[in-house]
Amino acid sequence: MAEPIAPGPLTLRELSEIGIDRLKGVGDKKLASLREVGIESVLDLLETYPRRWVDRTDECRVSDLQAGVESLVLVAVRSVTKRVARNRRTIVEALVGDGSGRVHVVFFNQPWRERQLREGLQVALFGKPELYRGGLQLTNPIVDLIGDRTGRIVPIYPQSEKAALSTWEIAGWVEDALRRCEARGVADPVPAGVRQRVGLIDRHQALKSIHLPETMADKAQARRRLAFDELLRVQTVLVMRKRRLERESRGIRHDVSGELTARLRASLPYQLTGAQSRVVAEIEADLAGPHPMHRLLQGDVGSGKTLVAVSALLAAVQGGHQGALMAPTEVLAEQHAASVRSLLQGVTVPDPGNLFGDRPLRVALLTNRVAGNERREILTALAEGAVDIAIGTHALIQEGVQFHSLGVVVVDEQHRFGVEQRAALRSKGDGDLVPDVLVMTATPIPRTAAMTVYGDLDVSVLDEMPPGRTPIATHWAEGPLLQQAAWAAVREEVAGGRQAYVVCPLIEESEKLEVASAQETFEWLTLDELKGLKLALLHGRMPTSEKEATMDRFRRGEVDVLVATTVIEVGVDVPNATVMVILDADRFGIAQLHQLRGRVGRGEHRSHCWLLTQQNADSGAGNPRVEALVATTDGFELAEVDLELRGEGTLMNTAQKGRSDLRLASLRRDRELVVQARAAAFELVDNDPLLDTNPILLDELRLLFTADDEAFLFKS
């Protein structure tokens, strides 16, 4: 009896439930090999995309090869030999060719190549030919076995020597799978209107064209469509989450026309920058609305985020609520308290019940360091509403801390301010009203990454520096000779009455080693390069009181040079410090170097940052991270460079080390696609909040995102 044909096109779930052993030629041995590389179902196979495509209509022939020019050639193996050199290294040599000529190939220390490259085999070789004994030679090229595949464009799949899978076997199974999908087709969750607007082919066609393209243009169209699907899924989850929060949470409608924020602006000795005015307006629109604000404020070091944050907190105070500012460390909380108090000096709160018409504004600092009577007094004042703005660490949302009416919360440098913390905040609010949340970061995030990783937040960007911030000149000193100039610059600045930082190398393995290295650097500088200057040492293992005392001495100008580990990365503000020297700068990431550099350039004097690296034996190699820092002080530009250099990594679960879960989409290359996917996600979710009319997409989200993935995405 014939099997009834299942209705409708194949969904991704159905493909995920068809075992790979149903395909022609997959016996027990190959099944084990495929499982070893993570391919268990037909869906896994179809999502194993080629890593390269060889365009036979445009391929290079052996006669076209030029020394020093990377090329890809399709050749047949003519002969293979193996020998062992005097130093016990294995050398495999092969002669390969096509109709136009022959080329010599050599592999060092890869004895298995002799078994791999059998005579008569068709292979694609990718490498840079070099001149050797009057002819051309390819040394250790990339080898792809392509078998007798025909067609104008040959897909090259990731191969596994260990699992003994070749590209032509994978290609054969993919073709078999696609042939079997032909009768029903593959379901498409993207509505025709969206496809038309974004210029996308349908999904079934895309799957065929990515694996078996007729032309390279077909392949590009297929890649664009499948990359859009990946981005749309991530964005839909984020947008559904965002809209659900808005539906289910009642916010406080703040009065943003009050007098208090106007008084703050009137008290400033300078005008707000255009970017600050724009961001304050975006925040005030959120505060006046019915939903709780959930906004990410990105601003480069020194772009004036504190002022924007204080303006948001005052909007709460002028409506009779309280504001809270949370920082990740006690040092940073104390620094914030100092700068907020100085910003609000002389600003009073209009109070009709007060005899004088105004009352003083009260700012309190609450960290775990505040104890005894002082702590009890602050907690009572918070509960009674006598404190207007509370500044502290996570201690602010712990049990036992009660606010009278918490209206606005600003969270600094806590990129993953999670669901649990938000729930804790909700319990601090007034009744079932949820306080507005502003999350701040000084680590610039590329726009596309922000839209993806922080997709359930609205994003505001401070992309303009306040006047009076002096640009920082950055210099790269490679090797001992050039480094003399850095130490001379430190001595010169100190002689002119200014101060300096020296940052010790980052040692990932152990804080203990890092402290020892800082101690060593301190002693060497004291006895040698900076002899005669007043030096102090600061590192993370010092008792808190000692750290504070050292920082206070530096702030007061009693210390010329502060030798420190990266504890100074965030929040240290000493306008008189004008030079920073970072040792072994190539051990740090771009974002960290940029943060460290932002510790200088805070006063009216011109500042310098010196990046010291060891002499590279291959001095032509360059150092793209260090070069990027020398080239620009724009944090957003650096964030884009950083994304280029590091690759995306994973968006979801950090457990998948280094394997980006966007298999085709790239936050670097597909910036315009990220924006289009986000717009499409809003359109789909706003018309149909629970995706009732798009069961295909809803099922894909359930299939491809685990609860952990979702939790990770939403911890923003």
Please write the tens of the pLDDT for every residue from 272-320. Answer: 889 999 999 999 999 999 888 888 898 877 788 889 999 999 999 998 8
CATH number reported for the structural domain that contains residue 440 in this entry: 3.40.50.300
- Considering the domain architecture, whether residues 206 and 291 belong to the same structural domain is answered as no
Please give the Cα distance from 665 to 673 (Å, whole number). Answer: 9
Q: At 298, which amino acid appears?
A: Q
- High-pLDDT (> 90) share of the chain, %: 38
- Considering the domain architecture, whether residues 489 and 610 belong to the same structural domain is answered as yes
pLDDT > 60? residue 2: no
Give 7 or 178, the one with higher predicted confidence: 178
Q: Look at residues 253, 297, 302, 257 and name the one whose alpha carbon lies nearest to residue 278.
A: 297
Q: How many other C-beta atoms lie within 10 A of the C-beta of residue 370? A: 17
Lowest-confidence range among 138-152, 473-487, 515-529, 684-698?
A: 138-152
Range of the domain at 514: 472-632
Provide the 8-state DSSP code for 601: S
Length of the chain: 716
pLDDT > 90? residue 408: yes
- Considering the domain architecture, whether residues 453 and 322 belong to the same structural domain is answered as yes
Q: Is 666 a member of any domain?
A: no
User: What are the C-alpha distances in Å from 391 to residues 17, 164, 550?
Assistant: 53, 60, 23
Q: Look at residues 603, 607, 569 and name the one whose alpha carbon lies nearest to residue 588.
A: 569
The predicted model scores a pTM of 0.70
Give 533 or 147, the one with higher predicted confidence: 533
pLDDT > 70? residue 147: no
pLDDT > 90? residue 569: no
pLDDT > 50? residue 657: no
- Considering the domain architecture, whether residues 150 and 124 belong to the same structural domain is answered as yes
Q: Looking at residues 123-144, what average pLDDT do you find? A: 88
- Considering the domain architecture, whether residues 332 and 375 belong to the same structural domain is answered as yes
Give 233 or 708, the one with higher predicted confidence: 233
Give 11 or 671, the one with higher predicted confidence: 11
- Considering the domain architecture, whether residues 528 and 379 belong to the same structural domain is answered as no
Lowest-confidence range among 399-413, 425-439, 588-602?
A: 425-439
pLDDT > 90? residue 246: no
Q: Is 652 a member of any domain?
A: no
Provide the 8-state DSSP code for 556: T
**Which residues on adjacent β-strands are paired with residue 475?**
610
Quote the pLDDT of residue 694. 93
> Are β-strands 561-564 and 436-441 bridged in parallel, bridged antiparallel, or unpaired?
unpaired
Quote the pLDDT of residue 226. 96
Say how many domains are in the chain: 4
Q: At 18, which amino acid appears?
A: I
Lowest-confidence range among 100-104, 151-155, 390-394?
A: 151-155
- Considering the domain architecture, whether residues 142 and 211 belong to the same structural domain is answered as no
Q: Is 576 a member of any domain?
A: yes
pLDDT in tens, 614-647: 876 554 557 888 888 898 888 878 877 887 776 6
pLDDT in tens, 175-214: 999 999 999 999 999 999 999 999 999 999 999 999 999 8
Domain C-terminal end among 603, 632, 661: 632
Q: Is 165 a member of any domain?
A: no
Q: Is 489 a member of any domain?
A: yes
pLDDT > 90? residue 19: yes
Q: Looking at residues 508-528, what average pLDDT do you find? A: 82
**Which H or E element spans position 318?**
helix 305-318
Quote the pLDDT of residue 97. 94
Domain C-terminal end among 110, 141, 156: 156
- Considering the domain architecture, whether residues 457 and 509 belong to the same structural domain is answered as no
- Considering the domain architecture, whether residues 476 and 449 belong to the same structural domain is answered as no
- Considering the domain architecture, whether residues 366 and 379 belong to the same structural domain is answered as yes
SS3 category, 263: helix
- Considering the domain architecture, whether residues 487 and 594 belong to the same structural domain is answered as yes
Which tokens go with 44? 């896994």
- Considering the domain architecture, whether residues 356 and 490 belong to the same structural domain is answered as no
Quote the pLDDT of residue 219. 95
* Backbone φ, ψ for residue 126 (5° rounding): -125, 125
Quote the pLDDT of residue 494. 95
What is the average pLDDT score of the chain? Answer: 85
pLDDT > 60? residue 254: yes
Q: Is 363 a member of any domain?
A: yes
DSSP labels for 464-527?
A: SPPTTPPPEEEEEEEHHHHHHHHHHHHHHHHHTT-EEEEEPPP-TT-HHHHHHHHHHHHHHHHH
Please give the Cα distance from 88 to 68 (Å, whole number). Answer: 29
280 and 313 in contact (C-beta within 8 Å)?
Answer: no
Residue 108 pLDDT class (50, 70, 90 cuts): very high
Which tokens go with 161? 């020597």
Give 369 or 81, the one with higher predicted confidence: 81
